[in-house]
Amino acid sequence: MRRIKKIIYDCHHATYLIEKSQHASLSLKERMSLLIHLSACSICRLFRRQSRLINQVMNGLFRASAGRAQSLDEAIKREMQEKINERLPK
C-alpha cells in the first residue's frame, strides 16, 4: 500500500511540475525529478502532451481575441439582468 501511495504522490507532484514548467522555470532538482518520473510514467507523458496542447490553443484564442472589442448582445444583457432581478430579495 505504501508503494501505491508513493506512486500516486509522484504523479500528483509530476502534474504540478508539468503545469509549473509551462509558466515558470523549474529548478534543477525539479527538472530532474520530473524527467525521471516521465521516463517511467506514460500517463504523465500523455498529460504533459495534452496540457501543452490546451495551453497552445488557449493562448491562440486569447491572442486572436485581444484586438477585438468584446461585448454582449443587448438581448443577452437584458435576459441576464432579468434573472438577477428575479433572484434578488425583495
Q: How much is the pTM? A: 0.64
Residue 62 confidence (pLDDT) above 70 = yes
Handedness of CA 55, 61, 62, 63 (dihedral sign): positive
Count the Cβ atoms, other than its own, within 10 Å of residue 71. Answer: 8
The pLDDT-based confidence of 27 (bands split at 50, 70, 90) is very high
Residue 85 corresponds to which cell in the numbers above? 432581478
Residue 84 confidence (pLDDT) above 80 = yes
